[in-house]
Structure 1
Amino acid sequence: MSLSVAASALAGVSFAWCLASYADLLSIEWRRDVGARYGFAMAAAAVVAFVLAHVSLPIQPSAVAALPLLAYAVLIYLKHHVFDQTPSPSEREGERIEFFRITGLTVVAYGALFGMVVGFITAQPASDAFLTLTTVAVAVGALAQNVLSRALKRYLPFGWVEKAMLVLLVVGFLAVLFAPPAFHVGICLVLVALLVCFDLADLSALTALASTDRARSVRYLARGRLSIPLGLAAGIALEAAVRAVDPGPAGTFPTALASAALGLLLVLALVAVFVPVKDNTVAEVVTHHRSADSLFELRCAEVSDRFKLSARESQVLVYLARGRNAEYIGNRLCISTYTAKAHIYHIYRKMGVNAQAELMDIVEQCEVPLV
């Protein structure tokens, strides 16, 4: 018991440490990759949780304590070695961010719908087979988010996710209402996968919002992440109340609960009809193509391709071509000045120049096809 308490305390401190550092870890390219990365992380977490559920003392509490520490180490490594650390979207030339806050009440409503399902799932008899199926459902939902993000190669606007989820939930609860009782658990496991996908989309949207104002990023994330848990709590409480009044056959989703869910979905459908989709979208990029900036970027891209610069060197080239020094470049790309100087040296060597003025001349004189 003392070992478990100590492990839980250490895990809590470690997770707090991760949260406190989260603002500095939001330098990822959120528009394209954040949903995919969150999806993969959730799928991996489901597998790890499944494994930990099947190990005994003292391995289990030690692993629980080690996980957040390892998570922090991985995040730090990814920040410095893997993530494409471009400036935040609001700092990019030629782009303007328009924000539409997540409609908190609609997210709470979705959370309540999923809470009914979660309450039903947790009330089922525990077994190794059922735990395995639940883990698979979570992993499938997470990987679905990963696949969607990678397939579209961009940030998924949360308003569109809400509307797609509306249709899927209507189908799911109608299936629960009319399908034989033997299929209820399976249908609810599919809805659990949808919950994971929806939750990751919500987290990705909040990351998009927080990444544009890193000074208040933790506040945005903490406040935004309250909506779904509040809804889940309400849905779980409603499921427990309905089951207390009318227990019904074991493994059967209550008809009254499915009817209530469909009624709530009807309300959400009316909201979706009368509220423009962008009102439920966290962030969309509106690009204003200014001829000078667009031509400059095309020239930099052409030079990068011509001299076979790496992705990071291409980013450094843009700043060099604007006359920036190593210290400035290091600050903007969240790397050390020494690393920036190393990139500059490699760029000079590949381009065969000895001074920044020569590099700027090459970019300025580069001819690109204008379409």
Structure 2
Amino acid sequence: MPRSAPARAPITSPAAATVFTTVLTQGPVSRVDVARRTGLSSAAVTKAARPFIEAGYLEELASAGRTAPGAGRPASPLAIRPDREYFIGVKITGDDLIGVVTDLRAQIRVARHHALTSHEAPHVVAALTDLVGELLGSRAPDGATNFRDRAYCLGVAVSGDVDRDSGLVRYSPFLGWRDVPLAELLEDATGLATTLENDVKALTVAEQWFGEGVGASSFALVTVGTGIGSALVLDGRLVGGAHGVAGEVGHVPVAAMGPDSPRCHCGGTGCVEAIASTEAIVASARRVAADPALTMDDAVSRARAGDEPLRHVFATAGHAIGLGLGALANLFGPERIVVSGEGVAAYDLFEDQIRRTFAEQAFGSAVRCGLVIRPLPFEEWARGAAAVAVQSLFVSDRL
């Protein structure tokens, strides 16, 4: 069972949650601005903020003085005290575990990598528990505080079909798991309240609260790498859909159906992932280069050096991604789409084709959707898991 967490953030009402979230994601911000942005009265903001200040989660910064004659008492902006509580985030991959400790703003304070030598659930739980123990035993940046003293929550991100509410990994193709109650197993092993989430959705939470999604009512995140993942935020809420798989652009068919259409591990044909994942790109590159030992790094190097057949492989992948992004923009109309992931490290071979295809495929005003394309360090996946743990402060049974 999770160990007790005394004097945690007093989020006990929707108004308290709204005020705290606003300061967390947009602060420092004055009470007047919090009221303006949330629709709460100034009195309600002051009432909601007081317990957070007393509990050490918020602080009042020094006033910058009046901004105009007759403006009244100078505003003292509210700001998060990021070191008031720490959070553990772990990303599970097929080869290793990436773990981080973050503060309340999901800023990474410590990062660790552990090799994963087996995909058997008991082994993964044991290895992850060891990693958590190492992270908790690290020292905070001030050198005096042990993270263990202020960390109560663990967020875990894993690829596949994940039921966050029950903490169940329903299906993870890279781990070969079906119906593994991972959150329960980890809570028993670590003593930390554990929140489990699909890795792309976890990364999207970090973007929504602390990255490109701040201030956007709607955006999409698409990751390119071992798979093609995606998640959607609409009207400020992460969209799971009735079955938890909403927005899976990687499994949108974009190739003509037929005997030569590439097969996808999902059972479909012509999916974006079957054309643009790392495995698909390497397979295509090996065929055109007539080199069965060709690696992704080799393909990237040769394409950058001007190998036209290999450049075409990457352009084909970029075209498939652009078609998927166009479908997202046409169906959901997000303000922006963030394209990231380890596969985007070769963005120079993808980007032009992605943008051209997207511009051709997006319908009408959907073409105005902003595209942000950037690589993603693996630690950011773990940071996303930690951001999900930060959300545990807002669990519904406390409101």
Q: Which of 1 and 2 has greater Rg? A: 1
TM-score, with structure 1 as normaliser: 0.28
Higher helix content, 1 or 2: 1
TM-score, with structure 2 as normaliser: 0.26
With a CA cutoff of 8 Å and minimum separation of 6, indicate the structure with the bigger relative contact order. Answer: 1
Higher strand content, 1 or 2: 2
